[in-house]
Structure 1
Amino acid sequence: MSTTPGLKTRLQSDLTTAMKARDAVRSATIRMVLTAVRAEEVAGTSARELSDAEVTTVVTKEAKKRREAAQAYDDAGRQELANRERAELDVLADYLPEQLSDEQIAALVTAAVEAAAADGATGRGAMGAVMKRVKPQTDGKADGGAVAAEVRRQLGM
């Protein structure tokens, strides 16, 4: 059993610290994540405790929502709301694994394209085969849209 506290425990501890420091953005963001984690825990037929990997998945989903909302607010000319979403995204980034760079994504995709080609996958059919190989290596470490865009670029789609 690991002696390091789990991600959920870390979130709860950080919430207390943020509340004591009167950090409104941080405490509101952590509360929102913990609410999403609890909702996921009671979803389905029976309540259960989420693993660290599952909590990371919830945090990743929340981060994606913040990225998309910031972009939408930018497009609508609502800069103050876009800045709020980015501030929340910065808080969430503390709980996510280090993100892969564009070069690292390209290298992983190149290796996956070569492996898929060796297995006979070509053309449009190779997209699924390549994504299946790349996804486990990039889960939680890169935006899925960015990975898919790189796969399409390398496949010439």
Structure 2
Amino acid sequence: MLIQKIKQDLVSHIKSGDKIKISITRLLIAALKDKEISLRNNQDFDELINDNIVMEIINKMIKQRKIAAQTYEEANRADLAEKELEEAKLLSHYLPSQLSEDQLNAKVEEIIKEVDAKSLRDMSKVMKVIKENLSGKCDMQMASNLVKSKLSE
């Protein structure tokens, strides 16, 4: 599982003394523990943290880093922006390789045919299948925009 890899990486980062990697790995582990606690409190504890949830959390953290980097650049703080982008790059190391736009386009068309979606009313059905099959492998916003454009044709 991905959680074990993250924990093993933390140990190796501690041994190597790389402070940035240690910091970001600890933040990731803390976010995972937070999610586990929230699942426990919601009586959804049957749903243990699986790789899809881990990838969701990582994607969320990457998005936060990119937004922060953009804010820092607007404030002329290139040093902090660079640090945020480096952290985002380290986090993306745990994600599977992302689908290209062409690959995503092909998958979306395939799923639309599979679900037999005809109009925008069927968008939720399509997005549900995309989330189940492609979570962590693509930008969900891009997928949503593709589905919307294809179903509105």
Question: Shift of the alpha carbon at 1:70?
Answer: 2.6
Map 1:7-86; keep pairs closer than 5 Å. Answer: 7-43=2-38, 44-45=40-41, 50-86=49-85
TM-score, length of structure 1 as denominator length: 0.78
CA contact 1:41–1:47 (8 Å) conserved in 2: no
Please give the per-residue CA displacement for 1:77-127, whole angstroms capped at 9, x wherever unaligned: 4322221111111111121122111111111112233445x45x32x3243
Coordinate RMSD, CA, aligned = 2.5
Identity of matched residues, %: 29
TM-score, length of structure 2 as denominator length: 0.80
Give the Cα–Cα distance (whole angstroms) in 1 for the partners of residues 72 and 145 of structure 2: 23
128-137 or 82-91, which deviates more: 128-137
Question: Shift of the alpha carbon at 1:68?
Answer: 2.8
User: Are residues 1:128 and 2:124 paired?
Assistant: yes
Please give the per-residue CA displacement for 1:24-65, whole angstroms capped at 9, x wherever unaligned: 211111010011011112224279663333333322322222
Q: Which amino acid aligns with 1:67?
A: K
Q: Please identify runs of 4+ aligned residues in structure 1 that moved more than 6 A.
A: none
Give the Cα–Cα distance (whole angstroms) in 2 for the partners of residues 153 and 77 of structure 1: 37
Question: Shift of the alpha carbon at 1:139?
Answer: 0.7
CA contact 2:52–2:135 (8 Å) conserved in 1: no
Q: Which amino acid aligns with 1:81?
A: L
Q: Which runs of 5+ in 2 are unaligned?
A: none
Give the Cα–Cα distance (whole angstroms) in 2 for the partners of residues 137 and 60 of structure 1: 16
Aligned match of 2:141 in 142, 145, 154? 145
SS of 1:140 mapped into structure 2: coil
Name the count of aligned residue pairs.
149
